[in-house]
Amino acid sequence: MRDFCFGAADNDRRMRYLEAGSSTDLTGMKPETQKGPPMQRSNLSKLSVLAVAVLVAGCPSGKEEGGSPAPGTNGAASGAATVQGASGAVVPGATMAATASGAAPVAPAGALFTPRPKNFEAKGVYFTATSVEMASRWKPWLQKLKNAGGNMVLFDAKDEDGIVQWQSKNALCKAMGASKEGPIRDLKAKVKEAHDMGIHVAGRVCCFHDPIMAKKHPELAPTHVNGGIWKELGSQAWLDPSKTLAQDYIIDLGKELIENGVDEVQLDYIRFPAMGDTQNARYAFDPKNEKKIQKHEIITAFTAKAYDAIHPTGALMSCDVYGIMAWAQPIDVRITGQLMEDMCKHMDVVCPMDYASHFSNGFDGIAHPADMPYLFVNNALRRLTKKVEGTGVTIRPWLQGMPYKVSNFNAHYITEQLKAVDENKATGYMFWNAQNTYETVWAGMTQWNAKKH
């Protein structure tokens, strides 16, 4: 099996099967069908994890899409906002202010939540929308979270399948039927129940990986250099991140979540696709692939646009990023469009997905990363802290709450991750388990809290 650094977002679909014991490969390809010259395959462990994902999909080494290395903090994207461009694309424009200090924002009159400062110590877990809706899970599990010292829950609001998980009033959502499978019947009531228990509620919104919208509105999808819609490993699932309609849909859903009392909007898949023949994808802002505008400028501009819309509501805005971006090489930035030094100026909290099991065997010279939770969380946080210094962003990592690839998944595995968080002075944490089976996590959190106090 080939292992790549997939995080909370990509993992949701895959982990439903992998945690159940399936041998399905993370990339969706059997090892014997993976492409790439033998030399490339034999040296994968020496390369960037995202570069590896491109290589096995058949992309020339080091030339994912050509172009020059991404610029650093003095690049044109720094502080970029947005203006309307050709073909419905949004391109970088005026300068916006960086994120404010850690002081709590002021919510408008009538808000259904009490704003928290972005640097409050959130200690949370991920719940599926089904877990939110089920009476046998929601409040009992929130109580278990509280008993373990937790104070935050993040739930699927719009998942990577494009399903809006509550009964949204958004006109575009209704027209696409995107919420017809959403299980949450009364989101406002569910959020209030959590608030009554002192729990901070975040809604996860998957941005540009949206199979429903990509199929209902193919004009919003990337195009293939040879014509037609570009597909990731055969799946028509991605939107062009520069398209205004795609961006506004995400932001409007985030604002609707806040109207229902949600304290924080967490943006996931806030990037370009990273798998498949990405060198053949074309986007509205760069249809001829001339590299006049870089991907990271588009992602930073959207991040700024979203923050400009969400911040005045008093809610927090956080963003999930690949854990590997702490090691980011120029090719990683060119593939994803995630330039941490710039993105993080336009969000309250950055959430690196620091699961040890999702680093390939041999990465950073470690034979089996899954069994080294402290080392990988520590290294990832140390690197990211240095990378985003001066942006004003709060770092709150995703941690591994599932036994995938781990030789001995127990409470000690949990406390080792919490030790790394503590030593790096990260502000809180969140545990991910796609099945929401957190007994081991509760035990580890309880042990850690007892040790600290």
CA dihedral 141, 143, 145, 150 (to 10 degrees): 150
Q: Express each pLDDT in 64-116 by its tens digit.
A: 333 322 222 223 333 333 444 445 776 564 334 444 456 777 777 778 888 89
- The answer as to whether 296 is a domain residue is yes
What is the rounded CA–CA span in Å between residue 403 and residue 408? 8
Alpha carbon separation from 157 to 172, 231, 265, 355, 450 (Å, rounded): 16, 24, 9, 22, 33
What is the rounded CA–CA span in Å between residue 245 and residue 293? 20
Q: Express each pLDDT in 237-272 by its tens digit.
A: 999 999 999 999 999 999 999 999 999 999 999 999
Average pLDDT of the segment spanning 194-213: 98
- The answer as to whether 12 is a domain residue is yes
Average pLDDT of the segment spanning 31-35: 29
- The answer as to whether 1 is a domain residue is no
What is the rounded CA–CA span in Å between residue 435 and residue 91? 39
- The answer as to whether 316 is a domain residue is yes
Q: Look at the chain and report how many structural domains it folds into.
A: 1
Element (H, E) at 82: strand 80-84
pTM of the model: 0.82
Number of other CB atoms surrounding residue 16 within 10 Å? 13
Spatial CA neighbour of 1 closest among 360, 374, 250, 263: 360
- The answer as to whether 2 is a domain residue is no
pLDDT reported for residue 114: 83
CA angle in degrees (0–180, nearest 5) for 39-44-48: 130
Out of 37-46, 139-148, 157-166, least confident range = 37-46
The secondary structure of 372-409, three-state, reads: CHHHHHHHHHHHHHHHCCCCCCEECCEEECCCCCCCCC
- The answer as to whether 80 is a domain residue is yes
Residue 426 exposure: Cα atoms within 13 Å on the Cβ side: 33
Average pLDDT of the segment spanning 32-51: 34
- The answer as to whether 338 is a domain residue is yes
Element (H, E) at 301: helix 295-310
CATH number at residue 190: 3.20.20.80
Domain residues for the domain of 41 are: 8-452
Strand, helix or coil at 130? helix
pLDDT reported for residue 104: 72
Q: Is the pLDDT of residue 137 over 60?
A: yes
- The answer as to whether 138 is a domain residue is yes
CA dihedral 116, 121, 124, 129 (to 10 degrees): 20
What is the rounded CA–CA span in Å between residue 424 and residue 444? 19
Q: What is the mean pLDDT of the chain?
A: 83
pLDDT reported for residue 425: 96
Average pLDDT of the segment spanning 156-179: 98
String of DSSP letters for 409-453: -SHHHHHHHHHHHHHTT---EEEE-TT---HHHHHHHHHHHHHH-
For residue 391, how far is the Cα from the chain centroid?
19
